[in-house]
Amino acid sequence: MRSENGRELAVEPVVNKAVPKSASAPAAKTDCATEPLLFQDLARRQVLADFSGGYLSSDGGTLLLRQIDRGLGVSRSIAACFCDARDPRRIDHQLEELVAQRLHAEALGYEDLNDHDTLRRDPLLAVSVGKADPLGLDRWQDRGTALAAPSTLNRLELSNHRRSRYHKLSHDPRKLEATLLKVATRCLRRDRKQIVLDLDAMGHLVHGLQEGRHFSAYYDGYCYQPLYVVCGSVVLWAQLRVGDTDPKEDVLRALATILPVIRRRCPRARILVRGDSGFCREELMAFCEAEAIDYVLGLPKNAVLNRKIEAHLAMAAARQCLCGGVNVREYTEFDYQTQKSWSRSRRVVAKAEVTAQGNNPRYVVTSVSSEERAAQSLYEDLYCERGNMENVLKQQTLDLRADRLSTHHLGSNQLRLWWAAFAYLLMERLRALTLQGTELAEATVGTIRTRLLKVAAAVRVSVRRVYVQLSSAFPMQAVFRRCAQRLAGLKYEAG
């Protein structure tokens, strides 16, 4: 295939044909690195393999990421939070290109910077990043590698903590924090009637001498304890904290920052804060009451609370004996106030549960009235829904490796946590905007990546176009095509 001027640069497979040896030719030395790999014959045919196919890509779906990123302006917004002090005459990689390379690779499952030693030769990732020369043939050094090396991306993370002639890409943490909140809040519908903010402080184990690490008996290891605030399936807040931080710390600052942005976006929405017993503190409840927002928080059990539901536990135990070993629950509610820490009496909903292992009482404290929500509905339908938030954070950790916090500095590990949050945002928007009505409408980030983004592609680069040939045997062709068509027809919100 030729371009209009007859010149074309192509990255395509090369078929090796076996050449019979001449009987008189002397035996030549064999290079083990280029020798074909032999596999079991297929009928009368030999099965050979080598690595001479050219720089193909296994991530054809990165074109979808490119579309959603350019539409939402995620990489552009992140790049605006950095200060680039490099000499523009001596650089090959613009700041926004570095950000996009790191972000797209994170979404594709390459959270380790060492992966970029090979990924920098991927022509399709270069197209996704926005490289005008996706084959890297016009570079004045490292010709043939279009993208940045791991060392360059590492300086992007460490420039806030190193002072040298090489570390000139510093970032403003407050601006990045605000950017995540701004971009994530734009994902919420303006006409929403209720917004639930889920709080969670999960432990991320570390395996080195990271700054701010602390031993946790609960997690049985050294860890960080980041604070997450999630609204539905969107992560609004991801703040890395040292391992000995109380769960309630930093929550008030986070909510004070989030609430004005939410209210500007959804002025008629009723806001409710939901969290487990680690966040049940007088300061948080008083803050919510002062801000006229509701809360549903887990309440740690104690002897006084247990005595209040003794009759209900006895009734549940009797029903459990009659039912033959199944879990039995009774619900009740009452007003409760601690002796010292609470400033006022509040509504408490209790679940008196008896299981095969014994009594399992649970309590929540709430500002929602009994006229609006009965005790059982409040616990089962409202409080227990926070499990959906935990599934979101599992995708952050298991699919995007948000817990890979292996740099020494707390600030650079915070930046890695933000990379994972922004990458999740791209994948979540891809799912919400283009995959509804398909078999991947409720899929996790890992499933979407494996089934939709991981598709073999050959890239042909000419003067006038980049031609990407996806695998003809790709089983998700219909979903991929629909996804691309929906992306092309989307109208994105300005700003």
Tell me how far apart the alpha carbons of residues 191 and 140 are, in angstroms, rounded to a whole number: 52
User: Could you give the number of structural domains in the chain?
Assistant: 2
pLDDT at 138: 84
Per DSSP, the residues of 121-158 read T-HHHHHHHT-SSTT-TT-SSSTT--S--HHHHHHHHH
- Which amino acid, one-letter code, is at 249? E
Same domain, 215 and 143: no
Q: Which domain holds residue 235?
A: 172-289+382-422
Decide if 56 is inside a domain.
no
pLDDT per residue as tens digits for the range 306-330: 999 999 999 988 888 887 768 889 9
Residue 167: its pLDDT value, please?
Answer: 87
Q: Which residues lie closer than 8 Å to 288 by C-beta, 6 or more apart?
A: 273, 294, 295, 367
Q: Are residues 161 and 196 in the same domain?
A: no
In a domain, 207, yes or no: yes
Q: How far is CA 204 from the centre of its chain?
A: 14
Q: What is the DSSP string of 244-305?
A: T--TTTTHHHHHHHHHHHHHHH-TT-EEEEEE-GGG--HHHHHHHHHTT-EEEEEE---HHH
pLDDT of the residue at 9? 47
Q: Judge if 261 and 115 occupy the same domain.
A: no
Single-letter amino acid code for the residue at 261: V
- Same domain, yes or no, for 418 and 284? yes
pLDDT at 140: 76
Q: Is residue 344 part of a domain?
A: no
Considering the domain architecture, whether residues 234 and 164 belong to the same structural domain is answered as no
Distance CA 347, CA 336 (A): 6
- Answer for the pair 394, 446: CB distance below 8 angstroms, yes or no: no
Q: In 3D, which of 173, 154, 98, 218 has the Cα closest to residue 408?
A: 154
Assess if residue 143 is contained within a domain: yes
Residue carrying the six token digits 């460490």: 158
Give the type of residue at 245: T
In this structure, are 161 and 242 located in the same domain? Answer: no
- pLDDT for 406-461, tens place per residue? 999 999 999 999 999 999 999 999 999 999 999 999 999 999 999 999 999 999 88
Distance CA 380, CA 404 (A): 34
Residue pair 495/49 in contact by the 8 Å Cβ criterion: no
pLDDT score, position 437: 92
User: Are residues 388 and 275 located together in one domain of the fold?
Assistant: yes
Q: Are residues 181 and 115 in the same domain?
A: no
For residue 105, is it within any domain?
yes
Q: Which two tokens stand for residue 44?
A: 């009368």
Res 249: pLDDT: 78
240 in a structural domain? yes
pLDDT tens-digit profile, the chain (495 residues)? 444 454 444 444 444 444 444 445 555 555 666 788 999 999 999 999 988 877 788 999 999 999 999 999 999 999 999 998 888 888 889 999 999 999 999 999 999 999 999 999 999 999 999 999 998 888 878 888 999 999 999 999 998 887 777 788 999 999 999 999 999 999 999 999 999 999 999 889 998 899 999 998 888 999 999 999 999 999 999 999 998 877 777 999 999 999 999 999 999 999 999 999 989 999 999 999 999 999 999 999 999 999 999 999 999 888 888 877 688 899 999 999 998 899 999 999 999 998 888 889 999 999 999 999 999 999 999 999 999 999 999 999 999 999 999 999 999 999 999 999 999 999 999 999 999 999 999 999 999 999 999 999 999 888 889 999 999 999 999 999 999 999 988 877 755
Query: What integer pLDDT is reported at residue 419 of this predicted model?
Result: 96
> What local confidence, expressed as pLDDT, does residue 356 receive?
82
The pLDDT, as a whole number, for residue 31 is 60
Question: pLDDT for 193-237, tens place per residue?
Answer: 999 999 999 889 998 899 999 998 888 999 999 999 999 999 999
Question: What pTM does this model have?
Answer: 0.88
Q: What is residue 3's predicted lDDT score, i.e. its pLDDT?
A: 47
pLDDT at 235: 96
- Residue-wise pLDDT for 24-36, tens only, equals 555 555 566 678 8
Q: Identify whether residues 164 and 180 lie together within a single domain.
A: no
In a domain, 469, yes or no: yes
145 and 234: one domain? no
Residues 131 and 190 in one domain: no
Q: How far from the centroid of its chain's Cα atoms is residue 483's Cα?
A: 20
Q: Long-range CB contacts (< 8 A, 24+ apart) of 152-159?
A: 152/93, 152/98, 153/98, 153/101, 153/102, 153/113, 153/116, 154/113, 156/82, 156/98, 156/99, 156/102, 157/407, 157/412, 157/415, 157/416, 158/407, 158/409, 158/412
Residue 494 lies in a domain: no
Does one domain contain both 228 and 80?
A: no
